[in-house]
Amino acid sequence: MDFREPFDFKKSPSMSSQLFEAAPSVFGGEDGVNPLQTINRAMVGGPLDIFDLIGRGAESAVRGGAELIGEGYEAMGGGQGMSERLKRDIYGLSQMAGLMAGSSPSALSSGARVTSTRAAAASDSTPSGIMMAIEGPPKPSGLLSAPKPKKALEGEIVSGPTDNYLKAQANRDKAMSQRGKEIYEEEMDEEAVRDSLEIIRRDIDDGFENAAERGFAPMNADGFFDDFIDAVMGARMKAEDAGQKPNMGEIIAEELPNQVRSFENSYGLFVDYNKLTDKLANTADDVYGLGVKKAKKRREDARANLMSLNAQKREAVRRNEEVARDRMLGITDDMTEAQKQDIRVKYAIDQQNMASGAGIPKPADEGPNLRIVIDNEDLD
């Protein structure tokens, strides 16, 4: 294959042009480009075209391009967690596209499925081109688009995983590389969390409505969910980076209380996070097997054990103080309990008398101090 192939854009469209065409809601399309979409094009197009120029580039070069994209996202005001996930998306895109294997990046036009940590849009049936999975309404504050929330009625009984979850699961099972499997597993976990949150949507929206009536800034469940998912997936990524297998149940059981407390301070969201966790677990555990209930129980048991241990420590300190006081009073181990108690009672009475002023001798009367003078003689 001619190393100049990436420059023949008619035969092999550039990676950036395929990306822009695949996600018009993020980068603009036939209807034009708004200012945010222009920024997205400038931030991502350059590094991706560098990949085209690299062709059979080394892994370090691809990693450098991914780092550049992530740093650009942070510079535009994006969160660090989402920035790290964007880096991994671009790096995974490069691997799946064949950059590491030496094939041309333009092979993407053949319909290779490039992974993304964002949930696929409902219209994604057989994706062609790159990053079709990010098609959907854009997030106002950054590059990545927000997946459409699952429409469900309050109290709806969820019979099984969502279509997006099942698609990611099927792609994971077909993936040839371990890295490809890991990327799709991350997509599965995110979709599982997003779907599980729907069962508490009404609780969160009601909490925000009550807060707005008290004068807090308006907010809705979608904003809460987006921040929560970012926190959960960021914690998941940290576990992977540390060489650990992410435990989504533990992560959710830890992050949901943190999220509620954060929004309580910022938006006046007063809700019981224990009840929310139990409610969310109905979907997270029964449908997706994330183990939120077990994780919550472990955390509660650990908290109870810690409180018990602290109480035992306080009791030990109190007993040590009693022993030291008895030694100061002259109490010895060979004394009977009655003798020990007599000494303690006497000491307590003495301390009380000192505090109330009892036992202080009354000043003696000085008597009259009157002197009578008669004929210049002093008489008492």
pLDDT in tens, 207-234: 999 999 999 999 999 999 999 999 999 9
Buried b or exposed e, range 222-240, using 16+ CB within 10 angstroms: eebbbbbbbbbbbbbbebe
pTM for this predicted structure:
0.49
Assess whether pLDDT exceeds 90 at residue 134: no
CA-to-CA distance for 164 and 173, rounded, in angstroms? Answer: 14
Compare 117 and 85 and report the one with higher pLDDT.
Answer: 85
Per-residue pLDDT at 86 exceeds 70: no
DSSP code, position 31: T
For residue 186, the surrounding DSSP H or E stretch is helix 178-197
Residue 79: band (very low, low, confident or very high) from pLDDT cuts 50, 70, 90: low
Who contacts 161 (Cβ-Cβ below 8 Å, separation ≥6)? 169, 191, 192, 195, 287, 288
Of the given ranges (5-9, 223-227, 348-352), which has the lowest mean pLDDT?
5-9
Are 238 and 250 in contact by the 8 Å Cβ rule? The answer is no
Element (H, E) at 373: strand 372-374
Mean pLDDT of the chain: 73
376 vs 314, residue with greater confidence? 314
Is 150 in a helix, a strand, or coil? coil
The neighbour count for residue 358, using CB atoms within 10 Å, is: 10
Please indicate whether residue 319 or residue 147 has the higher confidence score (pLDDT). 319
Reported as type and span, the H/E element at residue 377 is strand 377-379
Is residue 243 within 8 Å of 156, Cβ to Cβ? no
Most confident of 26-30, 62-66, 226-230: 226-230
How far is Cα 206 from Cα 263, in angstroms, rounded to an integer? 14
pLDDT digits (tens, 9 = 90+) for 162-185: 999 999 999 999 999 999 999 999
Q: Encoding tokens for residue 319?
A: 């007993």
Element (H, E) at 15: helix 15-22
CB atoms within 10 A of CB 262: 16
The 3-state DSSP class for residue 138 equals strand
CB 136 within 8 A of CB 145: yes
Q: What is the pLDDT of residue 64?
A: 64
Residue 124's pLDDT is 39
Residue 242 to residue 291: CA distance in whole angstroms? 21
Nearest Cα residue to 74 out of 133, 147, 130, 141:
141
Q: What does the alpha-carbon distance between residue 154 and residue 151 come to, in Å, rounded to a whole number?
A: 10
Lowest mean pLDDT among 88-102, 209-223, 235-249: 88-102
Map residue 374 onto helix, strand or coil: strand
Q: Answer whether 246's CB lies under 8 Å from 236's CB.
A: yes
At 254-310, the pLDDT tens digits run: 999 999 999 999 999 999 999 999 999 999 999 999 999 999 999 889 888 888 889
| pLDDT, mean of residues 348-362 | 73
For residue 247, the surrounding DSSP H or E stretch is none
Tell me the C-alpha distance between 9 and 15, whole Å: 10
**Contact 157/147 with Cβ under 8 angstroms?**
no
At 372, is the secondary structure helix, strand, or coil?
A: strand
Place of tokens 């509620």: 260
CB contact set of 58 (below 8 Å; sequence gap of 6+): none
Please give the share of the chain, as a percent, with pLDDT higher than 70. Answer: 52
Domain ranges of the chain: 1-142, 163-290, 301-353
Between 129 and 57, where is the model more confident? 57
Query: Which of 2-11, 82-91, 211-220, 357-366 has the weakest average pLDDT?
Result: 2-11
